[in-house]
Amino acid sequence: MAEPRKQLHIAIFPWLAFGHIIPFLELGKLIARRKGHRISFVSTARNIERLPNIPPNVAPLITLVKLPLPHVHNLPENAEATMDVPNNVIPYLKIAYDGLQEPLSMFLESSSPDWIIHDFAPYWLPPIAARLGISRAFFSVFNASFMCFFGPPKLLLSASLQTTDEPDSSTRTELEHFLVPPRWIPFPSKIVYRPYEAKKLFENTEVNASGVSDLFRFMTVCLGTEVFAIKTCIEVEAEWLNLFGELLHIPVVPVGLLPPSPQEGNDNKDSTWDAIAEWLDKQEKGSVVYVALGSEIRPSQEDFHELALGLEQSRLPFFWALRKSAGGESIELPEGLEERTKGRGIVWTGWAPQFKILGHESVGGFVTHCGWSSVTEAFQFGRVLIMLPFIGDQGLVARFLEERQAGVEIPRKEEDGSFTRDSVTQTLRLAMKDEEGQIYRDKAKEMTTIFGNKELQHRYVDKFVELLENHRQIITKG
């Protein structure tokens, strides 16, 4: 007779960015809902207060654990997530995050979870968890092709600690090295950085005000974890997943694309949705361009103007979700834009329910920064992507999707990343209207068979949890 399955206690500890917090929470909800394991979701008080409502059917299994974020010089009061601060202040948020080491250790010691699912930032966590007998799983909200581009962690860690004048021939020390596929990718690929993106990337390899580089954090955590979970699936990037497993030498487990459930939005904001839906209902099916560049992207005033004027020139109906940037920097719309586009376009400055908007039948395309979670949401509904990446993984995600002809990137100058209103207009019309853009619209619709297949995606979570269960059984019996 089979032994009864032990209920696991799993702690979940994301980095302080909502682009990480929400997928980590989604994973926790699915583990609780499908397998009945107990979840402790750990973050700071203000971030936990801003989470969407936990569905009643899983709420008894999920404990929200609020840790006090230490006060740090240069970090504004109540700033507890990247969306609360401008980019130049994020290193101070990392200092505060590192200050969670003691309260997190105390929580782990008193609650004794079986596993902790963690992010890239807490480079100090693996030895603490190992000492307490807690198994570690790194969860990457980035896709496998992005992870492969950076290569084997041991190689990268040695590069980030390099002190000699003669670096290992396999390391990448020059900007030009990031403009071509790395030598460890054995198949043809066009997934590379542009020069203007590589310049920004180099900032992440340098030690910042927190005392260590992001690269060092990531590689140290990689080398201290036991399982690498990743927000993707075999149907989307099998060859990259296989390659990443070979590079890492520990189990690499896709957890699926974690599509959010539409009924789990912020219920108290339904009146907002009603007002948006009323406008969308009046538009033709598939005609509207939805524009949203995420809560952390802050284009220059010039880029912002060119995007706005390109939208106006396109003559397409648009809904622009334009959140005020953190730190209060003001970016002005071109004079008279809202009057000239009245009725055809809406610039919405409050909270907007992205998932519901993308799901509305009048929306046909999505101007996006190519954050992997935004891409995931759009493809559930087969929306064609008009891609405008800015930071981090976004450029590589855009190239990955271009290879698959599932989106069109707005052309930019290689050196500085600038673009014109005309290039915005032409790309919008290609993606939304022109005959030669039909291939992109068709491919985006094809994506719904994978991204929109909830049962397929949920099976990945089930397999991941089975691995967690089996691993703990081996340890317990051992």
Supply the DSSP string of 26-75, one letter for each residue: HHHHHHHHHH--EEEEEEEHHHHHTSPPPPTTTGGGEEEEEEPPPP-TTS
Residue 29: both structure tokens together: 């909800």
Beta carbons of 318 and 345 less than 8 angstroms apart:
yes
More confident position, 272 or 445:
445
pLDDT of residue 186: 94
* Catalytic-residue membership of 416: no
448-454: average pLDDT: 94
**CATH code 3.40.50.2000 region(s) in the chain:** 9-162+171-259+453-477, 268-451
Under CATH, to which class is 268-451 assigned?
alpha beta
Cα–Cα distance, 220 to 157 (Å, whole number): 7
pLDDT of residue 160: 47
Note the pLDDT tens digit of each residue in 284-336.
Answer: 999 999 999 987 777 888 999 999 999 999 999 999 998 765 555 567 888 99
pLDDT band at residue 249 under the 50/70/90 scheme: confident
pLDDT of residue 262: 61
Question: Is residue 377 predicted with pLDDT exceeding 90?
Answer: yes
List 84, 98, 114, 119, catalytic entry:
119
pLDDT of residue 280: 96
Note the pLDDT tens digit of each residue in 27-59.
Answer: 999 999 988 999 999 999 999 999 999 999 999
* Catalytic-residue membership of 267: no
pLDDT of residue 167: 41
List 20, 305, 360, 471, catalytic entry:
20
pLDDT of residue 263: 54
Q: Report the percentage of the chain scoring pLDDT > 90.
A: 73
226-247: average pLDDT: 96
Residues near 130 by Cβ (< 8 Å), separated by ≥ 6?
Answer: 136, 224
Under CATH, to which class is 9-162+171-259+453-477 assigned?
alpha beta
DSSP per position, 289-353: EEEE--SS----HHHHHHHHHHHHHHT--EEEE-PPPGGG---PPPTTHHHHTTTTEEEE-S---
Q: What is the mean pLDDT of the chain?
A: 90
